[in-house]
Structures are given as C-alpha cells and as structure tokens.
Amino acid sequence: MKVLFVYPDYKVNIDPQSGRMLGVDEGGWYMEGVGSIAAVLKGAGHDFALYHLTSPAGRGEFQNTLRRESPDLLGFVTMTREYPQVKEYVLWAKEATDIPIISGSYHPTTLPEEVIATPGIDMLCRGEGEEALLELVGRMDAGEDYRTTESIWVKEGGAIYRNPVRPLIEDIDVLPLPDFGAFDFSMLLSTRINTGVVILSRGCPYSCTYCSNKRMRDIYPNKNRYSRFHSPEYSIAYLKKLVASFPRVEYLNFRDDILPWKGGWLENFTSLYRKEIGLPFICNYRANLVTPEIVRMLRQAGCYQMFFGVESGNDFIRNEVLNRHMSREKIVEAFDACREAGIKTVAYNMVGLPYEDKAKVLDTIKLNVEIGADHSLCPIYYPYPDTVLFETAVREGWVPEVYDYREDRYVDQPTLPREQLYFARHYFRTFVRLYRGLRKLPQPLSAYLERMVDGLWLSRHLPHRALVTLAAQGESGWNRGKDFFRRRFPDLFLWVRDRVRGVERDE
C-alpha cells in the first residue's frame, strides 16, 4: 500500500485588524515524526512518499502531483499555523482523487473536534503515529475494518468513531532509525549551512502555560512516561545514519527541548560522541538544570552554542503567568557557566505576554543585560489554542476564542497596545546593547544615564508607529542581505559565522 504525506512547511501571515496578507515565511524544516513513520511503514513493506511544500502550491500543481504519485492513503501533517492551508489542500485533493485522507501532528492531537469536522478529512491521528499508522495501513491493505483502530478517529456516513489514544511507546529504542531519505536535503534550510537537525528525545516534562505539552501529555493513559529519550548507543547510531545520509554535514543542531542529563546519560553520550562523531553542535537547555559539570561535558564534546528560554525578566510573568518555576539567580548562573566554559549563548524572550506592560518588558531587557547573552531573540507571543495561557487571554477578552490561525495574532491588552508592543519587539535588542554600554561607564554617571534611558523606554509620547516602521524596514533589508550572502557565498558565510560563534573544528 502506498502512503503519501503532504507537509505544508510555511507560514502565511495575515494582519488581524485589516485582514491584509503580510507575507509568507518559507519553510524547509526536517520533521522527526515524518522520518520515523516513513521508516516504520517501509519496514512493513509499504511504500511511502513525501510532498514537502516549503512555499504555497497552486491548485494545478498540487493536483498533478497527487495524480502522479497515485497513493492509496493521503496524509496531511497538520500544525496549528498551517491548518488553514491544509483545509484548502484537502478540498483540492478531493477534487482530484477519491482516496481516504487522514490528518495528523499537533493540531489534530490537541483540537481533534475541529479537525474531524473539516470537510474532506476522513480520519485523524491523535498522538504518536508509528504504531497507529502501521495498524491502520495494515488493516486497510488487508481490506479489514479499520474503524476501531486506537488513536485514529474515523468519519464515515455521518458517524464519527472516536477511538481512545493508545499508550505511549515507552522504550523508543524499539523504533527503527528514521528514514532521512524521505526528505530532499536540498530543500532544507539547514542544508544551506551544512547542518543536520537532530532529535533524540520525545516529550517535555514541564508545563509552561504557553505550550501545548501539558495538554498533549494528558491524552495518554501512561502520561507519566511522556518524557523519553533514546539510549546513548541508539543516539550515536542515529547520528551516524544522519551523517551518511547527508555527507555535507559539518555541524549538528540538537532540537530536543532538553538533552537528558540523569543517570549518567550525558556522560556516556558525550564520551561516545567525541570518539565517533566529533562534529561541532548547538543545543537547547533549561537554565535551572545547568551545572558547571554539564556545561563542561557539552563543551568538551563540541558544543559551541546553547539556547535558553528566558521568556521574561519579570518574576511575576515568568513564574506565575508562564509557570516556569525558574529564579533569576539560576538564569544568571547558567549564562555565567556557559561563558566560563567558552560556549556562546542565545536567550529566547517574548514580548506581549498577558498582563505585561512596558515596565515588565524593561525587566526582561535588564535581565538580558545582566546575563550577558551573546544573542537575544524577542518575538511577539503568539496565543496558540488549547493552551492554558490562550484560555487566560480569552477569559480576559484579549484574544478571540476563534480566529484565523494565519493571523499575525497578538494579545490585545490595554497595558501594552499594538504600537507599544511592536516598538518593544523591534527595539528590544537596541536597548539591551544601550544598557550594556552604559554599564561600562563609571558610577554615578552610569546610574544617572540609565535612569534617563528608563524614562525614554517608558515614555508614552515616543512616536512608536514611526519608529516601528523605520526599524521594520531596516530589519527587512538586513535579513535580505544576510540571506543573499548565505545563498551566494555559503563557504564565506560559514567561515564568518564560525569565528563569531567560536566554533572549533578538527581540520
């Protein structure tokens, strides 16, 4: 039996006030779930193909691809921001074929009723797909009744079969290594910088209110086993296969929420990694889990950059609103440990969080100054549905309960109106650099000038809209230039980047 997955991997942005299309963010990201399901289905003798859409497809092109591939089952990888595109593609698919259509991934897992009601969608998969898809495809291929397949919802003749979610795969080492060949590496953004994307674990153990992890965890009967990771030995085999599949790889990007650290896992893994892989890499970590020993092991293994979720420098926002349970002191200590070990750092922050105003954003700016992150990211908080924080914003009347997921949606609250919100987003890093410069001056001049800058940031009389327009134009030009440089002179781009980030490689 042949299965074709359609993976819309781009974002359409619409202004929530005017409904005007703002643009398209093209994609090109590897997805671990697709590679894993492809390996499982192929291992059972089924055919698998991937239609990876990194930009919008026209109706004719899309339908011709379906006819050419001629699958027996059509699956849509459905994430929240891409759900509106999926709805349109499903209708196009029904015009061109009469095969059953199934939707899977984050959105049907957390909002199944919305997805199963979508015209043209016959089935959905909730949760992990390897065992569920394998059983479903096997039953369909054998001509058996598949309406009772666990984790699968089936819509047929006006009825909906809402089957329970099957337990999590507790030992994920039983899964075959992903089928990296399902992806065309020439289409991946990481390919442009010779980087392989790596995921060695499943499930985050934390319950941050802006994330869907808690809701996803709660659907499983064995939810206490939600956070799992591959053994060091399996992980090294995974990396060897990835490098063999992508011979140009020179760097690795570990996209796990947190690399495991308990029970000697990190010590065993980094020891094997140094001997058998040896490529420079970046990874995510949680600041309150970092110790000098963890940082030392990562650095010795080849880690040159670590990403931390700071989110907010205001204690109330970070711990009470976001449920991060992370002290300011622990965040500072994590960045200090990385700096002492020679690892560059990136701080993830957000602006526009519920109950935030410019003063609370200023707390985040000053924490970024204190931690000395090498790079600070600060997007606007996007209220994803079926999260605790989204429900808070809806309850306060700051976000509509139903909206087009393509909207460049933000929390519309009186304490941080639109023009101030976008000012905070565009000038966040400017003020971080400004405060850092001031703190190098002698006292009391430094303190006096800092109070002046505080007043400037907090002023309601700034021409916020004009300043945002100016900054947005500059940012757009910078991004176009950087992308051109990366595309046209990739080797030079990597040479410059390596020196900025302190990458060390064996020649």
**Beta carbons of 43 and 69 less than 8 angstroms apart:** no
In this prediction, residues 330-357 reach a mean pLDDT of 97
Residues 6+ apart with CB under 8 A from 452: none
Domains (range + CATH), the chain: 2-162 (3.40.50.2300), 194-496 (3.20.20.70)
In this prediction, residues 300-324 reach a mean pLDDT of 97
**Is the pLDDT reported for residue 489 higher than 90?**
no
Point out the least confidently predicted range of 24-33, 34-43, 89-98, 480-489.
480-489
90-111 tens-digit pLDDT = 999 999 999 999 999 999 999 9
Query: How is residue 291 written in tokens?
Result: 């110790």
160-185 tens-digit pLDDT = 999 999 999 999 999 999 999 999 99
Residue 425 C-alpha from the chain's centroid: 19
Query: How is residue 99 written in tokens?
Result: 């095969």
Query: How is residue 55 written in tokens?
Result: 């930009």
Point out the least confidently predicted range of 55-64, 148-157, 412-421, 480-489.
480-489
pLDDT, residue 264, reads 92
192-250 tens-digit pLDDT = 889 999 999 999 989 999 999 989 999 999 999 999 999 999 999 999 999 999 999 99
CA distance 361 to 223: 35
Query: In whole numbers, what is the pLDDT of the chain averaged over residues?
Result: 95
Predicted structure pTM score: 0.93
**Is the pLDDT reported for residue 480 higher than 90?**
no
**Beta carbons of 375 and 308 less than 8 angstroms apart:** no
CA distance 126 to 129: 8
pLDDT, residue 192, reads 83
Residues 6+ apart with CB under 8 A from 204: 211, 213, 227, 257, 258
Query: How is residue 37 written in tokens?
Result: 């399901």
Residue labelled with tokens 């440089």: 485
**What DSSP element (H or E) covers 496?**
helix 490-501
CA distance 23 to 15: 10
Beta strand extents in 258-356 (DSSP E only): 281-285, 303-311, 344-349
**Is the pLDDT reported for residue 505 higher than 90?**
no
pLDDT, residue 236, reads 98
**Is the pLDDT reported for residue 506 higher than 60?**
no
| Alpha carbons within 13 A on the beta-carbon side of 341 | 26
Q: Where does 58-206 have alpha helices with state H?
A: 59-69, 83-96, 106-110, 112-116, 130-141
State the DSSP string of 201-260. EE--S---TTSSHHHHHTTSTTGGG--EE--HHHHHHHHHHHHHH-TT--EEEE--SS--
Residue labelled with tokens 């700096």: 339
CA distance 449 to 445: 6
In this prediction, residues 238-263 reach a mean pLDDT of 92
Residues 6+ apart with CB under 8 A from 323: 207, 208, 209, 388
How much of the chain exceeds pLDDT 90, in percent? 87
pLDDT, residue 107, reads 96
Rounded to whole angstroms, what are the CA distances from 49 to 28, 29, 124?
Answer: 17, 16, 19
**Is the pLDDT reported for residue 487 higher than 90?**
no
SS3 of residue 127 by DSSP = coil
**Is the pLDDT reported for residue 450 higher than 60?**
yes
SS3 of residue 492 by DSSP = helix
User: Count of H helices and E strands in the chain?
Assistant: 18, 17
113-140 tens-digit pLDDT = 999 999 999 999 999 999 999 999 999 9
